[in-house]
């Protein structure tokens, strides 16, 4: 059978509860054959983010990591800090529901500092949305809390939503925090509103790529850092730590304000060499048409753009990279979930659209192939998940792709 797996977080507006792993047959049709169903705590937004996980490349045991950004945890004094759950996967048809356990990325309360003789919280982990993003790469895992706030370095206490991420390696036996925007450059004009970890991915050699769409008056920013560099010399006390080898994009002219670079990120090879490039969504850039930019991962400079076709369609809300047609060249998919379809003599309908750019040669792409949603307010293209790397475990080797929209979950 030509099938592969698709993980579906069932989220509709404020409701996020049930998660299924489905077999997917051919391109874009979901076939729910014996779905494996996971459930999280009520109101925890369980299923907001998902990824597959395998402790080592050789390991036969596949599991699913599920973000629940409003879950309560065992962290003392923290309310709805958010969590990522480890959910063992089994296709055993006799089992209909499956147990998931919280992964202990961080068991601690807010760190405190002494200011003028009184102890104050240095950070604010309640309602930080940990688990809003989760990503795996060969046994490495990253999960982020884009609404994590900290007190800033200023005399008067302020709360800046810098965001933070945690990495785990060796099957969750070592953890470290990575908060690239918790720096000496606070406030909206600096990195204070960065929301690092709003999006996240890994390169093939395991370098972490982090999107922070709120830096520099919401111009947004992309950062990269090696996971080994994050782990080496990590200490809970080093709050303003700069990870060796970290790279980031810089502030641009104020015409780029409110464009949200880093709202989404993905990684692929587009220049005919071995060094991968970063693809980052800028959904409110280019006068709100939205664009997606390709970034040189060696020095984080911009190489080229794909631009949206309709204002306010949120082109770049989601991005994905996979070699969809199997020609050896990575291809780019871009979601614009608020795209409106205009039919003659009728009101425009908000259906969402996904754009597929096939790479013919290095830095040469086809005109986009268009996939348009069918349901009004369906937000087709909300999430795009290529699943090309799952074909080692008995599920047939066809490349497959899941394009999510709300109405896929709720008929």
Ligand X SMILES: *[C@@H]1O[C@H](CO)[C@@H](O)[C@H](O)[C@H]1NC(C)=O
Does residue 271 belong to the site contacting Ca ion (CB under 5 A)?
yes
Binding site for ligand X (CB under 6 A): 41, 43-44, 55, 70-72, 79-80, 86, 115-116, 155, 171-172, 271, 285-286, 291, 293, 296, 298-299, 301-305
Q: Which of 183, 135, 187, 196 is nearest to 159 (CA)?
A: 187
Residue closer to Ca ion, measured from CB, 23 or 276: 276
CA atoms within 13 Å, Cβ hemisphere of 147:
12
Shortest Cβ 327–Ca ion spacing (Å): 4
Burial of 228 (0-12, 13-18, 19+ CB in 10 A): middle
Residue closer to ligand X, measured from CB, 91 or 102: 102
Residue closer to ligand X, measured from CB, 70 or 135: 70
Number of helices (H), then strands (E), in the chain = 3, 35
Does residue 329 belong to the site contacting Ca ion (CB under 5 A)?
yes
Distance, C-alpha 370 to centroid of its chain: 23
Q: Residue written as tokens 């999280």?
A: 40
Shortest Cβ 321–Ca ion spacing (Å): 10
Residue closer to ligand X, measured from CB, 129 or 380: 129
Residue closer to ligand X, measured from CB, 24 or 100: 100
CA atoms within 13 Å, Cβ hemisphere of 234:
16
Q: Residue written as tokens 């998902």?
A: 50
Q: Residue written as tokens 């782990």?
A: 231
Shortest Cβ 154–Ca ion spacing (Å): 41
Shortest Cβ 14–ligand X spacing (Å): 12
One-character DSSP codes across 186-215: -TTTTTTT--TTSEEEE-TT-EEEEEETTH
Shortest Cβ 116–ligand X spacing (Å): 4
Q: Which of residues 288-327 bind Ca ion (CB under 5 A)?
A: 323, 325, 327
Query: Of 124-132, 147-155, 263-271, 335-343, which part binds Ca ion (CB under 5 A)?
Result: 263-271
Does residue 273 belong to the site contacting Ca ion (CB under 5 A)?
yes
Does residue 148 belong to the site contacting Ca ion (CB under 5 A)?
no
Binding partner of 171, given ligand X, Ca ion, none, CB within 5-8 angstroms per partner class: ligand X
Shortest Cβ 26–Ca ion spacing (Å): 18
Does residue 80 belong to the site contacting Ca ion (CB under 5 A)?
no
Under the phi-then-psi rule, with left for phi > 0, alpha for psi from -120 to 50, and beta for the rest, what region is 262?
left
Shortest Cβ 45–ligand X spacing (Å): 8
Do the bridges between strand 164-169 and strand 140-145 make them parallel or antiparallel, or are there none, so unpaired? antiparallel
The span from the CA of 256 to the CA of 305, in Å, is: 14
The span from the CA of 83 to the CA of 44, in Å, is: 9
CA atoms within 13 Å, Cβ hemisphere of 18:
9
Residue closer to Ca ion, measured from CB, 254 or 275: 275
Which of 322, 331, 353, 385 contacts Ca ion by CB under 5 A? 331
Binding partner of 376, given ligand X, Ca ion, none, CB within 5-8 angstroms per partner class: none
Q: Count of residues binding Ca ion (CB under 5 A)?
A: 8
Contact 146, 198 (CB under 8 A): yes
Give residues in contact with Ca ion (CB under 5 A). Answer: 271, 273, 275, 323, 325, 327, 329, 331
């Amino acid at each position: 059978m030509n099938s592969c797996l698709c993980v579906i977080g069932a989220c509709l507006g404020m409701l996020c509860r049930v998660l299924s792993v489905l077999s997917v047959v051919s391109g874009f049709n979901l076939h729910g054959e014996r779905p494996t169903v996971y459930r999280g705590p009520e109101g925890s937004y369980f299923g907001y983010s998902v990824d597959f996980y395998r402790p080592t490349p050789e390991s036969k045991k596949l599991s699913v990591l599920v973000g629940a950004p409003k879950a309560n945890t065992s962290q003392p004094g923290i309310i709805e800090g958010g969590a990522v759950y480890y959910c063992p996967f089994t296709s055993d048809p006799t089992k209909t529901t499956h147990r998931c356990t919280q992964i202990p990325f961080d068991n601690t309360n807010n760190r405190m500092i002494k200011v003028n003789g009184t102890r104050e919280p240095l950070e604010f982990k309640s309602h930080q949305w940990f688990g809003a993003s989760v990503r795996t790469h060969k046994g490495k895992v990253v999960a982020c809390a884009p609404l994590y706030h900290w007190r800033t370095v200023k005399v008067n206490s302020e709360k800046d939503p810098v965001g933070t991420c945690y990495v785990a390696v060796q099957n969750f036996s070592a953890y470290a925090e990575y908060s690239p925007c918790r720096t000496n450059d606070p406030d909206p004009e600096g990195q204070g509103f960065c929301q690092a970890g709003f999006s996240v991915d890994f390169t093939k050699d395991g370098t972490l790529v982090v999107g922070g769409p709120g830096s520099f008056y919401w111009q947004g920013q992309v950062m990269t850092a090696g996971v080994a560099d994050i782990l080496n010399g990590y200490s809970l006390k080093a709050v303003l730590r700069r990870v060796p080898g970290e790279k980031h994009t810089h502030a641009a002219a104020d015409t780029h304000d409110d464009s949200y670079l880093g709202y989404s990120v993905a990684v692929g090879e587009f220049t005919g060499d071995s060094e991968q490039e970063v693809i980052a969504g800028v959904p409110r850039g280019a006068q709100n048409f939205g664009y997606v930019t390709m970034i040189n991962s060696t020095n984080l400079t911009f190489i080229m753009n794909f631009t949206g076709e309709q204002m306010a369609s949120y082109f770049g809300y989601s991005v994905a990279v996979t070699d969809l047609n199997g020609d050896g060249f990575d291809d780019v998919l871009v979601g614009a979930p608020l795209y409106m379809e205009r039919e003659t003599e009728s009101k425009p309908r908000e259906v969402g659209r996904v754009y597929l750019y096939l790479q013919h040669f290095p830095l040469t792409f086809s005109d986009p192939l268009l996939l348009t949603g069918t349901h009004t307010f369906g937000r087709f293209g909300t999430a795009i998940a290529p699943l090309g790397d799952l074909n080692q475990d008995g599920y047939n080797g066809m490349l497959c792709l899941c394009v999510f929209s709300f109405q896929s979950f709720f008929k």
